[in-house]
Amino acid sequence: MSLAGLGEFGLIARIRQAVSDPADLPLGIGDDCAAALVPAGELLLTTTDLLIEGVHFRRDWTTVRDLGRKSVAVNISDIAAMGGTPRQIFLGVGLPADFPLTEIEGFLDGVLEAAGEYGAALAGGDTCRSPGPLFISVTAQGSVPPQELLTRGGARPGDAIYVSGTLGDSALALRQLQAGTLPQSALARRHHDPQARVTLGRQLAAGHLASAMIDLSDGLLGDLGHILTASGVGARLFPDSLPLSEPLRWVLPELLAQQELALTGGEDYELLFTVPPAQQGGLAALASAGLPLTRIGEIVSEPGLKLLAADGSLLPLPSGSFKHFGSADR
């Protein structure tokens, strides 16, 4: 059976059956709006992302279950980047008429599974037929106490720049898929099933350990550029200290190629954050708790971004990474 056979209301009824509403969601799927409680005094965070088949994903490279999981994770990652706790997600899908029902169910399983892992409830959405590709739009909501909100604008000269996890794995998997090579499974997982760093984001926010934060979706240089612009500061990065995974080093033995990918590759969904000098002791305790946290540079008052080798010499920025840094840095 396809969507044409089941019909939109049949699909919504199936989704409704699969979902149970938590206490902070008195009214979920099924009315004109969802009605949710925000914890007293907290700010409501809202973020949305659009994923289009052929632009953001290819159905022959991923399973529909992973596609559902990733659609949730990339949105929850934005909640994590603000220091928030995920609360609800809303799902809009434009489904090709011949999209098989088993595929729709697999996709929904992935959405619900990932939402459950992050403690978010599917609270509403919309479905319609697409005359062409599969469209997926996820909106995520979360909450954060106002004094714990982390933005891109709080970095100050003297702060250290940190990143979680390892960089470049997802981009390497994508590059291999584009070249017709099957990526090694650990790299493929990083691309098809990224993990939003919600626990780390909350720890940094609640502990007042970070001054600015962003999640890495477009690549380290571009996303760091957003922090620098929003904060009105510059940065020095140390490419030799970029955290790289074993599989990446194995597939890509040349150091410059590793660093180029770590600096420019997208879809890491790690957290990039700045830490004031006084908070670096508190961060050390977090870093020993599992996910590696690596110091990769420092914030300076002079605008622009410089890459520095271990001996202090200046390295060229990879081509294609200039757009966020203005003409003065070329």
Three-class SS state of 210: coil
Pick the closer one to Mg ion by CB: 69 or 197: 197
Pick the closer one to Mg ion by CB: 183 or 225: 225
Could you give the residue ranges of the DSSP H alpha helices within 210-253? 220-231, 246-251
What is the per-residue DSSP string for 103-129?
A: HHHHHHHHHHHHHHHTT-EEEEEEEEE
Least separation in angstroms between residue 225's CB and Mg ion is 13
What 8-state DSSP symbol labels residue 310? T
Least separation in angstroms between residue 217's CB and Mg ion is 5
Pick the closer one to Mg ion by CB: 84 or 247: 84
Pick the closer one to Mg ion by CB: 62 or 77: 77
Pick the closer one to Mg ion by CB: 215 or 270: 215
Write out the E strands in 219-303. Answer: 234-237, 271-275, 293-300
Least separation in angstroms between residue 207's CB and Mg ion is 21
Residues near Mg ion, by CB under 5 A: 78, 215
Least separation in angstroms between residue 214's CB and Mg ion is 6
CA distance 33 to 12: 14
Least separation in angstroms between residue 78's CB and Mg ion is 4
3-state DSSP of 128-156: EEECCCCEEEEEEEEEECHHHCCCCCCCC
Identify whether the C-beta of residue 315 lies closer than 8 Å to the C-beta of residue 308: yes
Least separation in angstroms between residue 316's CB and Mg ion is 27
44's tokens: 């409501």
Residues sharing a CB contact under 8 Å with residue 24, sequence separation 6 or more, in sequence order: 36, 37, 38, 39, 87
What's the sign of the alpha-carbon dihedral 217, 220, 226, 230? positive
79's tokens: 């909640």
Least separation in angstroms between residue 221's CB and Mg ion is 15
Pick the closer one to Mg ion by CB: 34 or 80: 80
Pick the closer one to Mg ion by CB: 78 or 148: 78
